[in-house]
Amino acid sequence: MNAKYIGKWQGRADTPFFKGSAVVDIFDDGGKYGFKTSVQGFDKLPEFSVYNIQEGENSLKGCADINMFGKITAEIEVHFNGDTFTGEIRLPVLGKVQILDGRRIG
């Protein structure tokens, strides 16, 4: 587990169904990556689990099962550059969703 990915990160997405920002807190969960997410405008998010995390030199990628109208599996890939990042979420219904303006906030 690489400490450079630990912290609070914020990015935004622009889709036909959602426009806004999300904050992801990446933390050490007993030697593996843990994730806590909050999304602008949503008091309660669907349940999700993140797994199969693969660590690259400047990237993390993995899968997330999201329980929303049944289970949806998303593929997530994030590329870090110091205190900024770019990313992409691939969803079966929406296709590719770009994460924009990614930055460390804590």
CATH code for the domain in which residue 80 is found: 2.40.128.20
- Please, are residues 9 and 85 in contact by the beta-carbon 8 Å criterion? yes
Q: 67 has which bridge partners?
A: 71
Cβ count within 10 A of residue 6: 14
Q: What is the pLDDT of residues 48-94, one digit of tens each?
A: 889 999 999 999 999 999 887 788 899 999 999 999 999 999 988 77
Backbone phi, psi, residue 16, to 5°: -65, -25
Cβ-contact 90, 96 below 8 angstroms = yes
How many domains does the structure of the chain reveal?
1
Share of the chain above pLDDT 90, in %: 60
Domain of residue 28: give its range: 3-104
Confirm if 84 and 102 have CB atoms less than 8 A apart.
Answer: yes
What does the block give as tokens for 14? 């622009």
Q: Is the pLDDT of residue 41 over 80?
A: no
The residue-averaged pLDDT of 13-40 equals: 87
